[in-house]
Structure 1
Amino acid sequence: MENLNDCCAKIKPCGEAIFISSRIRLARNLSGEIFQTAISDKGRTEIFYRCQSAILKMRKFANGAYCNLEETPPQTSRILLEKNLISSELEQGKGSRGVFISSDAAASVMVNEEDHLRIQVIEGGLCLKALWKKINSIDDSIEKYLPYAFSSRYGYLTACPTNTGTGMRASVMMHLLGLAMSDDMEKITRGLNQLGIVARGSNGEGSDPVGAFYQISNQQTLGFSEQDIIERITNICVKLAEFEQNARQKMLEENPEALFDKIARAWAILESAIMISTSEATECLSALRLASDMGFMPAKSKILIDETLLKIRPAHLSEGKELTPKMRDIKRAAVLKSAIKNLKKPVFGSRKKRA
């Protein structure tokens, strides 16, 4: 097995514009086994080692990395969470549980989360159709060793009824600061809910969209095919990107001072702050990301900005050390000052439409 740190290091910031990344998760349970909501500690351990034996037979994961969270320091599990390789449910869970990460760090399989298995693939940009081919292949390979709980009437059976059916959650992370600044996101979110689509924060269910980073995903799985879900999410995200482009251009034409002021203030804060929280830093980096998209900073700036968005998160800042919130805020400010030294200050001479 590959070293966990080496495997995680393969995750690179994508530097995409409005579409940051796409992700598909599949919830699966083993046929004839008690679900996680009612299983005993002994049963959970048996499930864990049964899944471990099967997954390690697959070359994609045998050459990757493996983490037993029951034996892993909390700092390491939090880093995995911040890298989106595991969920908060798995990180905060108890008993036998773990994650298997592919050699390219683009796929992971969580064991004993809410369901026996949570299979995940993630890549930069809008690419749900390509991801479905990859995760479907992984899913089929696992099923050769681990028969799934499946109903000919309902589809895949899951611990939470909302996942029953395909067991799929398809999502796209989008940067929608133009719509947020135009106060349109509340109306859009309500409209999406009526369509069975949810817009959450970047940390998933229950999280706020700090920095206008929104995760757009399906709420319904029962009664839909995987292709239906993917096509629906893709079409909605393409339309949202059009709305975002229009909102940016409208600000540029009708209220450029407010746009420039937000970007300039963000730069000034990052350049001079002595202490700064995760949320404030994310808001400022989001503004610079918008500046890069719209041509006020070099386009390649997004790569460093995305990399910095990860570096400033609590576990990445701590690097295995015990830091108080104040110490983290001080260190975060220093990391940000160092990062923007490698960026060119925004210049507002050009008003060309960029996206």
Structure 2
Amino acid sequence: MTVTPGAQRVRWMEGGGPAADLVLSSRIRLARNLEDYPFPTLLGPEQGQEIIQLMEDVTRHLSASGLGRFELLRMADLSPLDRRVLVEQHLISPQHARNAATGAVILNEDRSISIMVNEEDHLRIQCLLGGLQLHEAWAVATRVDDVIEAHVRYAFDEERGYLTTCPTNLGTGIRASVMVHLPGLVLAQQAGRLLSQLGKVGMVVRGLYGEGTEALGNVFQVSNQITLGPAEEELIDNLMGFTRQLLDQERSARERLYRENEDGLKDRVMRAYGLLTNAWTMSSEEAIRLLSDLRLGIDLNVLSHVRPEVFNELIVLTRPACLQKLAGKELDARERDLRRARLIRERIAASLRKTTQ
């Protein structure tokens, strides 16, 4: 298997799964460090390469474990563009993309599993599935974790649990998160109040690409803030319960907006549809805003002839690196805006043909 960024399918982008109308993806991420090695902040180049070589052997064991085929990619062997594509697909972090010296990533075929090597911790094991599937993602992540632990020694303390670079990951080392689309709460001006209360219940909210990023297209990442104390299943159950409450409030907000201003909401959706299917040039910011309105219209059955998965695909494929990867060359800002508009027109047209066949 040869994994080329931009060439392989990415499972979560295909949509589907429970509550897929509001939850784009569910992610379980496990932070792990190896015994006998300093944390990555103090890791020398030679030690970093030793860990990569160790993980190359682990990759072969993963491929033989029944979890599918895996391949390890060194950041040094990928172009800066390919690394940015992996960031835009939510497979590695922006920080990891900059680590060409000692960074690597292990990917399976459908990219539902990715393992960052020598990021903030030696290993960041991630399972990413479409819809609200936290428990399913946890089942996969823990299987991957077990395979790795059978071949390496983790840094673990009986009282503190898994030892991590950042104290906020200490203990279970687990971060469970959901990527949710909340245009109803944003339009009703309720999102800020609700999301600001997350800290009180041990949750944190971030933007589309994690910590320090904006909530583009009314898409938010909600995750657990506490990793020490409760067991993994309890942390996941807590996030599941909160997410269901958040989804109920989003659906209520949508119903109220539709009931109180049906014409205004339909006009907003149809204007977005008109621009997306006819515009000749489009910026990244405008595209994701209009795509959010398009998806809202699909979910409200205003645009029932458009596949909902087109939103998941296009919020990634219209990002700068993915656009350039699809084009097969570097593009300036003007060229990206032209190609982005064309890609959106083509993908929406393709989704219409599929639904009418």
Do Structure 1 and Structure 2 share a fold, with TM-score over 0.5? yes
Say yes or no: does 1:313 pair with 2:323: no
**Higher alpha-carbon deviation: 8-17 or 102-111:** 8-17
Q: CA deviation at 1:95?
A: 0.9
In structure 2, the residue matched to 1:324 is 332
Number of residues of Structure 1 aligned to a counterpart in Structure 2: 344
In structure 2, the residue matched to 1:353 is none
In structure 1, the residue matched to 2:345 is 337
In structure 2, the residue matched to 1:8 is 8
Say yes or no: does 1:116 pair with 2:117: no
Which of 45, 51, 54 is the equivalent residue of 2:49?
Answer: 45
Q: CA deviation at 1:343?
A: 5.4
Which of 259, 262, 266 is the equivalent residue of 2:272?
Answer: 266
Query: Which blocks of at least 5 consecutive residues in structure 2 are unaligned?
Result: 353-357
- In 1, the alpha carbon distance for the partners of 2:37 and 2:70 equals 27
Q: Which amino acid aligns with 2:209?
A: N
Which of 235, 247, 251 is the equivalent residue of 2:257?
Answer: 251
Q: Which amino acid aligns with 1:233?
A: L
> Does the aligned pair in 1 maintain the 2:306–2:351 contact within 8 Å?
no
Residues 63, 342 of structure 1: alpha-carbon distance in 2 compared, 3 angstrom cutoff = closer
Say yes or no: does 1:76 pair with 2:82: yes
Q: Which amino acid aligns with 1:21?
A: S
1:185-230 alpha-carbon deviations (Å, 9 max, x no partner): 1101111122121121121111111111111101111112101110
- In 2, the alpha carbon distance for the partners of 1:58 and 1:300 equals 38
Matches within 5 A, 1:1-355: 1-4=1-4, 8-9=8-9, 11=11, 12-15=13-16, 16-59=20-63, 63-298=69-304, 301-319=307-325, 320-342=328-350
1:101-147 alpha-carbon deviations (Å, 9 max, x no partner): 12332111110111100100011111111211111111111011111
Q: Which amino acid aligns with 1:157?
A: L
- In 2, the alpha carbon distance for the partners of 1:305 and 1:221 equals 32
> Does the aligned pair in 1 maintain the 2:24–2:312 contact within 8 Å?
no
- In 2, the alpha carbon distance for the partners of 1:122 and 1:242 equals 23
1:246-270 alpha-carbon deviations (Å, 9 max, x no partner): 0000001112233123212212322
What TM-score, normalized by structure 2, do the two folds share? 0.91
Residues 30, 244 of structure 1: alpha-carbon distance in 2 compared, 3 angstrom cutoff = same
> Does the aligned pair in 1 maintain the 2:59–2:70 contact within 8 Å?
no
> Does the aligned pair in 2 maintain the 1:126–1:172 contact within 8 Å?
yes
In structure 1, the residue matched to 2:355 is none
What TM-score, normalized by structure 1, do the two folds share? 0.92
Aligned residues: CA RMSD: 1.9
Tell me the percent identity: 35
**Higher alpha-carbon deviation: 301-310 or 281-290:** 301-310
Query: Which blocks of at least 5 consecutive residues in structure 1 are unaligned?
Result: 345-355
Q: CA deviation at 1:318?
A: 0.8
Q: CA deviation at 1:299?
A: 6.7
> Does the aligned pair in 1 maintain the 2:206–2:220 contact within 8 Å?
yes
Q: CA deviation at 1:30?
A: 0.3
